[in-house]
Structure 1
Amino acid sequence: MERLYRRFVNPGDLVFDVGAHVGDRVATFRRLGARVVAIEPQPALRTTLKLLRRWDRELVIEPVALGRAEGTVELKLNRDNPTVSTASPDFIRAAAGAPGWEAQAWTTSIVVPMTTLDALIVRHGTPAFIKIDVEGFEAEVLAGLSRPVAALSFEFTTIQRHVAAAAIDRCVALGYASFNAALGESQTLVHEAWLTAPQIAQWLADLPNAANSGDVYAIIS
């Protein structure tokens, strides 16, 4: 994991981890010497992040969801698999009956505060890298960013390719020109040479459904 993120993160850099979950990426970013703002709206997952902060007082935790505007949002919780809790009703509908998602159930919900990437930048400074993993809400998160940072990543799923396409379009509007991807939890970039936006969009469209998920990486140059 460190080998991948070292491409984007240098010692002293600021990183936003959007959808920090239990902090696996947080720990990686900290080992790389980055300052980290961990954004996680789920109280149960923040308990683990707070344990990390006991040993790392520089870790900042933001107990909010992110979207295109300030306000509140209903977060649908998956108690058996909290990492796929989501603010996107469309994500839940897409998962219903989809291969590999049959056992997933979103049985309860909470209303959480929502802010934007722009607001977090005002509060904490401009990050060198933003990691976004928010189960179908990625394009909404990017809609709350009005100027680019050096690099970012967002999760995609094959059950919601249109969300990834919208996120790519938003990245292009922000000025991102080069794209790559990693499948699943491989932590390895698929493409030796970085792709244009149309090329990465076509690659995503051509992926077999069995690929399931991964992350798209975007850089300015």
Structure 2
Amino acid sequence: MIQHIPWDKLTFTGRFIFIEESVRGTSPNRLLFLIKCVFFMALDITLCFVATIASYRLLAWALFTPAERGFYCDDESIREEFKENTVPTLTLLGITLAGPFFIIVIANFIIKMRQQNMELAETFNRSTFVYLDYLAAFWLTTLSIDIIKCFVGRTRPNFIAMCAPQEFNDICIEHPEAFVPIAHCTTGWKKSRNSKLSFPSGHAAISVFSTLFLFFLFERLTETNF
């Protein structure tokens, strides 16, 4: 867990939920309190999403570009046919972002049911703070992997199809064994950048991170609450 981040002071959930925790009594009041808890949780998570996506694009896309390693015209290892990922990136992000959220919330409500003295506000706070920890660590992992990919600059197996370098037609036809130090892609900025980010695997890194985070989370919850 990222314990040094003071979420209780940085979030709407932390600043307002405990203030209203004293609301007791009639069902309408309790229902209103529950609605506020859900609203502040959703607001904090949404703001965190916006901040992480914006900062990731600024840091990873604007400040870091893949290293140019060049390619040999006769290199058969970079001429594979272009195919979409077996697991699409959006699907992977949906699983690794939405899945842990529901797991964290359910786990904290199970703890609330086992500990009768645990207040509703504390349950929402813990769920929100732990998930924000997850998002912060997810952002750091993704950014680190992307930076490493840029420094390595390893071309993908489908580099020729993905990049369609201008030099492949200008140079390689006349000199099949030539080395091209810099490839000028003709397929657009996004594909050009992605064609040089083969290693390490971002999909594998995100999957491993998500699994390890949940593993250590459950280990800690088991030790402290069961």
TM range (shorter): under 0.3
Greater relative CO (CA pairs within 8 A, separation 6+):
2
Q: TM-score, normalised by structure 1?
A: 0.21
Larger radius of gyration: 2
